[in-house]
Structure 1
Amino acid sequence: METPAHFTLKQVAESIRKTIAERYSRTYWVTAEMHKLNQTRKGHCYPELVQKEDASIVVEMRGTIWKQNFERIQQKFFEIVKEPLHDGMELLFHVKITYHPLYNIGLEIIDIDPNYTLGALQRERQETLERLNKEGILNSNQNLEMALVPKRLAIISQADSKGYSDFVTLLNGHPKRYHFNTFLFEATLQGDTAIKSIQDQLKRIQKVQQHFDAVVIIRGGGGEIGMHCYNNYELAKAIATFPLPVLTGIGHSTNLTVCELIAFRNGITPSDMAYFLLSIFEELDAPLDEALMKLPKQIQHLLQGTKNQFDQLTRAFQQEVQAALLLEKNTFHGMVKDFEFQVKHKMTHSNQILTELRNKIRSSSFYLIETQRNRQENSVNFLQVHTKAASNSARQTINTQITQLIRILPRTFEMEWTKLEQSEIHLKLMDPTVILQRGYAIVTNEKGVLSAKNQAASGDELKIVTEAQELKAKVK
């Protein structure tokens, strides 16, 4: 059998390379996510380019950026977006399709359009806003009511951040030394890691929300890419639905992010947010300053007016009192004279009545005393007679009863003694020992003595007690 015509693998690979080179001779603009940059020590990059649908990778292809191109692309990208290239970015690549016998089909990246990246961030921003609006939570945080004096602040920032340092310095450096209670919840504030980091700190704050009046998220300035995390839907939703007012001062951007738009209040910089909080204290403090300036004069004027009014009232009161006293004095003298006349008249009349009553009482008392004396004498005589008769009758009755008791008691004792002897004989006959001597036995099971209510059943173990012995039996 003859060997068929064939090609070596190298020949096939070379043919594919030539075909692809002829078919894809020009360059193309391709959108993809740079999953990993994969920069080498020599300066070349071999990024992994992917396309995702529903969070799943549907296409993956190898890319190549030679050192000289990478340095140019990186510099141009940083000048426009103020951030270096990094993993996970959606980019617009200017590519040439290539084939390598060892590395298969790939894309040689000639350039990257930084303006497309800015546009992608804007699209994410718009999609997040529309989604929050559709869910009805776009203005939820802005509709909250903040404390009249928001002095207890939960700050989400980095301890070594200049923005945090400026913010705290301004709050504590006011000439009037307004007092703020601040607590730092440290978080990453830039890039993709900031999303989860800020969300975690918001969850911590929510557990102790009763200790705070507001939440302040602050960071220093940065490029647009560094702030793309603030257009993320999950982070924006966490801020929109947070139960405390959220204040933001996260950079110098002129194009506000979603988190800034939906926050209770936003400032371009941390310093702006500090000035806003201080302005609340100043607005409340200004009327007090004005009042402190006016208060001494107003008090002095009020006291002088009150003193004048009091003096006038005092003089008028003294005149009224003197007139009232004079009138009452005259009235009182008239009443005293009238009273003296009435008393004298009543005394004369009363003396006459008393004299008449004295005479009547004197004659009536003598008659009553004689009458009572006669009645007492009659009562004493009557009691003497009847008491003697009653005593004799009671003595006869007692003697009769004693005689009857002497006659009846011996017979009664004899009858009762006979009853006791009969009861003793009956009890001896009922003694279980006597009954057993007569041939009877006591039969019991585990429930007690056998009876109509406790009858033996098959299998029961019985105990039989006679006068002479104790037996055990089993019912069959």
Structure 2
Amino acid sequence: METPAHFTLKQVAESIRKTIAERYSRTYWVTAEMHKLNQTRKGHCYPELVQKEDASIVVEMRGTIWKQNFERIQQKFFEIVKEPLHDGMELLFHVKITYHPLYNIGLEIIDIDPNYTLGALQRERQETLERLNKEGILNSNQNLEMALVPKRLAIISQADSKGYSDFVTLLNGHPKRYHFNTFLFEATLQGDAAIKSIQDQLKRIRKVQQHFDAVVIIRGGGGEIGMHCYNNYELAKAIATFPLPVLTGIGHSTNLTVCELIAFRNGITPSDMAYFLLSIFEELDAPLDEALMKLPKQIQHLLQGTKNQFDQLTRAFQQEVQAALLLEKNTFHGMVKDFEYGVKHRLSFSNQTLQEVRNKIRSSSFYFLENQKSKQTHLVNMMEVHSKSSLSKKAQIILNQTDQLIRISPRMIQEELLKLNQAELQLKLVDPLNVLKRGYAIVTNEKGVLSAKNQAASGDELKIVTEAQELKAKVK
């Protein structure tokens, strides 16, 4: 049996190469996902190019980017997109179709259009915004109410990140030493891995949300590299619907990402976010500073007012005491004069009455004697005896009353003088100046005089007033 006509495998491969070279002699623009870049140590890249439908790969081809082309493409791509080439990007390739006997059909990548990628990123950003808006959650996080003093912070960052270090240093380095309670939830902050990493940490924080006032996502260094993850719908939705205010400082200066737009507040850098939090404390602290500046003057004014009031009360008390003493003296002298006048008047009245009685008796006796002298001699004699006896008794009574008045008057005057002296002594004993002279002192703090209800505490400034001087002290 004759051997049929045949070709070697190499001949077949060479025929295929020529056919492809002739059929696909020009270059083409092809869209595909760069599944893996596969860069070698020599600088060449052999990316795996795929096309997906319903998350399944329907086409896969090998690509080649020679070192010289890769360096040019990478530089140009970064200048426009602000990110390096990485796995999973949808790209527009300028390719030439090639065939290699060992590696089969492949695409030699001559160039990559960065503007297509930039447009794809912008499309993703816009689609995410429209989807969040349609679901009514675009401004959900921004509508939350921030705590008056947000000091308990859940921080999503990398422990070795310069941005995290700067953020914590600024918070703890304020001259007034504001106190923040921070807890780090470490996560990847750039690239596709950041999407799940940040979401996982948000889920952890949600479980203990009662311990925090806000969530801070900070990322330092790297410029705008790896920022496309912050346009992802799932990550943006997790931030928009989070029950605590989410603050971002991810080092991005232009063309804000979706996550920054829907966050409660965003800052260009972690430092900007630290300054924002410190500004809240400073704004609340400003009235206290103003009060501290005014307090010494107000205290001085209050003390001076209290001293003036005390001096006025002291002078008024002295005047009242002197007026009371003068009134008592005048009253006493008036009583003495009234008593002397009464005694003299009574004595004069008694003498006058006695004289009138004597004159009447004499007149009556003389008339009676003259008219009935002869008939009533015996009666006259009896009348004279009776009159003398009556006069003697009256005189004796008057003398007894006079002696009694003379004996009683000095004692009454002495008793009244003693009462007056005792009243004057009691008034002098309660005089504040005399109390201070006995070694006592008046001690006051900012609330007033120290007492069982107003006790001094450590650090209080005290004012001590003695008879000779006024002192200030501080409780240790």
TM range (shorter): 0.5 to 0.7
Matches within 5 A, 1:269-348: 269-298=269-298, 301=301
Q: The residue matched to 1:39 in structure 2 has which SS? A: coil
Q: CA deviation at 1:22?
A: 2.2
Give distance in 1, aligned partners of 2:215 and 2:166. 17
Q: CA deviation at 1:122?
A: 1.5
Q: CA deviation at 1:44?
A: 2.5
Aligned position for 1:146: 146
Q: The residue matched to 2:243 in structure 1 has which SS? A: coil
Aligned position for 2:386: none
Matches within 5 A, 1:343-422: none
Task: Answer whether contact 1:81 1:223 (CA < 8 A) is retained.
Answer: no
Task: Answer whether contact 2:14 2:101 (CA < 8 A) is retained.
Answer: yes
2:104 is aligned with 1:137: no
Aligned position for 1:76: 76
Per-residue Cα deviation, 1:122-144 (whole angstroms, up to 9, x for no partner): 21111111111111111111111
Task: Answer whether contact 1:222 1:252 (CA < 8 A) is retained.
Answer: no
Give distance in 2, aligned partners of 1:127 and 1:310. 78
Q: Which has the higher mean CA deviation after the structures are superposed, 178-187 or 82-91?
A: 82-91
Q: CA deviation at 1:79?
A: 4.2
TM-score, structure 2 as length reference: 0.61
Q: CA deviation at 1:12?
A: 4.2
Aligned position for 2:256: 256
Give distance in 2, aligned partners of 1:66 and 1:105. 17
Aligned position for 1:162: 162
Q: The residue matched to 1:217 in structure 2 has which SS? A: strand
Aligned position for 2:420: none
Aligned position for 1:175: 175
Per-residue Cα deviation, 1:417-457 (whole angstroms, up to 9, x for no partner): xxxxxxxxxxxxxxxxxxxxxxxxxxxxxxxxxxxxxxxxx
2:41 is aligned with 1:38: no
Task: Answer whether contact 1:43 1:67 (CA < 8 A) is retained.
Answer: yes
Q: CA deviation at 1:216?
A: 0.5
Give distance in 2, aligned partners of 1:197 and 1:41. 29
Question: CA 1:300–1:42 in structure 2 vs 1: closer, same or farther (change >3 Å)?
Answer: closer
For 1:171, the aligned partner's letter is L
Give distance in 2, aligned partners of 1:165 and 1:132. 33
Task: Answer whether contact 1:81 1:224 (CA < 8 A) is retained.
Answer: no
Per-residue Cα deviation, 1:173-205 (whole angstroms, up to 9, x for no partner): 111111111111111111111111111111111
Per-residue Cα deviation, 1:22-77 (whole angstroms, up to 9, x for no partner): 22221112221110112234433221101122222222111111233223323333
For 2:194, the aligned partner's letter is A
2:22 is aligned with 1:22: yes
Give distance in 2, aligned partners of 1:52 and 1:306. 88
Task: Answer whether contact 2:188 2:198 (CA < 8 A) is retained.
Answer: yes
Q: Give the total of aligned pairs.
A: 321
Aligned position for 2:265: 265
Give distance in 2, aligned partners of 1:41 and 1:292. 66
Task: Answer whether contact 1:239 1:246 (CA < 8 A) is retained.
Answer: yes
Q: The residue matched to 2:102 in structure 1 has which SS? A: coil
Give distance in 2, aligned partners of 1:44 and 1:226. 22
Give distance in 1, aligned partners of 2:160 and 2:7. 66
Give distance in 2, aligned partners of 1:216 and 1:274. 10
Q: The residue matched to 1:155 in structure 2 has which SS? A: strand
Give distance in 2, aligned partners of 1:120 and 1:26. 26
2:105 is aligned with 1:121: no
For 2:76, the aligned partner's letter is K
Aligned position for 2:51: 51
TM-score, structure 1 as length reference: 0.61
Q: The residue matched to 1:43 in structure 2 has which SS? A: coil
Task: Answer whether contact 1:219 1:250 (CA < 8 A) is retained.
Answer: yes
Aligned position for 1:240: 240
Aligned position for 2:218: 218
Q: The residue matched to 2:140 in structure 1 has which SS? A: coil
Q: Which has the higher mean CA deviation after the structures are superposed, 78-87 or 222-231?
A: 78-87
CA RMSD of superposed structures (Å): 3.0
Give distance in 2, aligned partners of 1:222 and 1:115. 21
Give distance in 2, aligned partners of 1:144 and 1:122. 28
Task: Answer whether contact 1:82 1:222 (CA < 8 A) is retained.
Answer: no
Question: CA 1:34–1:79 in structure 2 vs 1: closer, same or farther (change >3 Å)?
Answer: same
Aligned position for 1:207: 207
Q: Percent identity?
A: 98
Per-residue Cα deviation, 1:286-318 (whole angstroms, up to 9, x for no partner): 111112222343455567778889999998xx9
Question: CA 1:311–1:40 in structure 2 vs 1: closer, same or farther (change >3 Å)?
Answer: closer
Q: The residue matched to 2:244 in structure 1 has which SS? A: coil
Per-residue Cα deviation, 1:80-134 (whole angstroms, up to 9, x for no partner): 4454322212222111111233333211101122333222222111111111111
Q: CA deviation at 1:266?
A: 0.4
